[in-house]
């Protein structure tokens, strides 16, 4: 691996909760070795990041600057940043047919329950977001601690998929 940032795209259906959390966390702890992005397979019109997710990030001291919901179509174009790793973080997005990713990055699925789902009150949902943030952060800490050799494309594919089993 060279001195360039290692690009990671996190995918979810609406790009409002889990993928946004993952993007923010990896950019926060990635020490410049990683540049994270997030997108959704079908964000709703005028989709915005979930306010509870933004609150949990701020409470954890993680910047929310620049976070916004977007379609994965933005990352399938030839002028988009070339991804080294694409990770789905929800089961719905994992089951969808993804667009062609320039450079054919390694892929993995790290499934997390949707912290915004259900009829719970905001206090319970806030705790669900906090737990999701902690679970994502544990996995991201493993990712950023990998030696350069583990970040080579073939090794990365296997390593990222193995990390899905370690929870």
Host H or E run for residue 163: helix 153-165
CATH number of 6-156: 3.40.50.2300
pLDDT given at position 96: 61
- For residue 148, with 0-12 CB atoms within 10 Å meaning exposed, 13-18 middle and 19 or more buried, which class applies? exposed
Residue range 46-75: mean pLDDT, rounded: 94
Query: Largest Cα–Cα distance in the chain?
Result: 47
Q: Give the other-Cβ count within 10 Å of 105's Cβ.
A: 19
* pTM, rounded to two decimals: 0.87
Report the candidate in 110, 85, 107, 104 with the shortest Cα–Cα distance to residue 21.
110
Q: Helix or strand or coil: residue 154? A: helix
Q: Are 133 and 57 in contact (CB under 8 A)?
A: yes
pLDDT in tens, 90-123: 876 555 666 667 778 888 889 999 999 889 999 9
Residue 31 is encoded by which pair of tokens?
């020490």
């Amino acid at each position: 691996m060279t001195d360039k940032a290692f690009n990671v795209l996190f995918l979810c259906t609406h790009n409002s909760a889990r993928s946004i959390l993952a993007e923010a966390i990896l950019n926060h702890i990635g020490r410049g070795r990683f540049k994270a992005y997030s997108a959704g397979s079908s964000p709703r019109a005028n989709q915005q990041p979930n306010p509870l997710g933004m609150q949990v990030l701020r409470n954890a001291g993680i910047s929310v600057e620049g976070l916004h919901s977007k379609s994965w179509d933005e990352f399938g174009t030839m002028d988009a940043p070339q991804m080294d790793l694409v990770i789905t973080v929800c089961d719905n997005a994992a089951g969808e047919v993804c667009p062609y990713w320039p450079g054919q990055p390694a892929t993995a699925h790290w499934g997390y329950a949707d912290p915004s789902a259900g009829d719970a009150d905001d206090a319970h949902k806030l705790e669900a977001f906090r737990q999701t943030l902690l679970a994502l952060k544990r996995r991201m800490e493993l990712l950023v601690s990998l030696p350069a050799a583990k970040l080579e494309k073939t090794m990365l594919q296997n390593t990222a998929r193995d990390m899905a089993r370690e929870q």
